[in-house]
């Protein structure tokens, strides 16, 4: 058992056994389920799903963002995003305003109704994150974020970081 990939061990914390890595992988898998569980519960029954949650989140986060912008962040096709946005716009949760400088662009904003749903979703998700942070203790938070950042693709990390610095 242990270090099945060959090479000698020694618990020098920067030599990482396959077993340590596997635990991290499984933790990531199981934790993501918890991460999405509360919003999923809120959304089930409504006509919406995880894709709607993501759109609401990033529109809330960057009000006035364009469709193209959102596409880049979400990493899906415009057809896929369009289906989601159409529903949100029809139901009056999102407002699509023609750009002033560039009239081809649509700038997206949450309505009162959209903002309300976004808040209930993010409240639930934040509550879980807060509880996890508290349970793990002060030191853990930084490590958590560092590993997650390092796990991203380079292009994703750039998006995350430019987003990170944008105040809400």
List residues binding its own copies (CB under 8 A).
1-2, 4, 13-14, 16, 18-35, 37, 54, 61, 75, 122, 125-126, 128-153, 156-157, 159-160, 163-164, 167-168
Residue 13: HSE in the Cβ half-sphere, 13 Å Cα cutoff: 0
Is 134 a binding residue for DNA by CB under 7 A? The answer is no
| Per CB under 7 A, 51 contacts DNA | yes
Residue 94 phi/psi, 5-degree rounding, is -130, 145
Q: Which is nearer to its own copies, 19 or 116 (CB)?
A: 19
Give residues with Cβ within 8 angstroms of 70, minimum separation 6: 55, 58, 59, 81, 108
CA angle 17-22-23, nearest 5°? 100
Total of chain residues touching DNA, rule CB under 7 A: 33
Nearer to its own copies, 79 or 167 (CB): 167
The CB-of-65 to DNA minimum distance in angstroms stands at 9
Q: What is the dihedral of CA 58, 40, 35, 72, to 10 degrees?
A: -30
Distance of alpha carbon 81 from alpha carbon 152, whole angstroms: 22
Measure the CA dihedral 51/64/151/75, to 10°. Answer: 50
Letters for 19-48 (x = contact with DNA by CB under 7 A, - = none) are: ----------------------------xx
> Judged by CB under 7 A, does residue 98 bind DNA?
yes
Where along the sequence are the contacts to DNA (CB under 7 A)?
A: 47-52, 54, 66-69, 71, 75-86, 96, 98-99, 101-106
């Amino acid at each position: 058992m242990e270090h099945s990939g060959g090479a000698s061990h020694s618990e020098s914390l920067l030599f990482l056994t396959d077993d340590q890595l596997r635990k991290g992988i499984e933790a990531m898998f199981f934790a993501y389920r918890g991460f999405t569980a509360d919003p999923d519960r809120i959304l089930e029954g409504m006509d919406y799903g995880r894709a709607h949650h993501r759109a609401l989140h990033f529109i809330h986060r960057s009000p006035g963002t364009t469709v193209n912008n959102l596409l880049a962040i979400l990493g899906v096709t415009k057809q896929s995003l369009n289906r989601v946005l159409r529903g949100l716009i029809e139901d009056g949760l999102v407002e699509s305003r023609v750009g002033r400088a560039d009239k081809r662009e649509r700038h997206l904003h949450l309505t009162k109704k959209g903002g309300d749903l976004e808040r209930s979703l993010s409240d639930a998700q934040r509550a879980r994150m807060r509880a996890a942070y508290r349970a793990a203790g002060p030191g853990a938070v930084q490590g958590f974020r560092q590993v997650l950042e390092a796990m991203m693709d380079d292009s994703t990390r750039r998006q995350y970081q430019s987003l990170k610095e944008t105040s809400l």
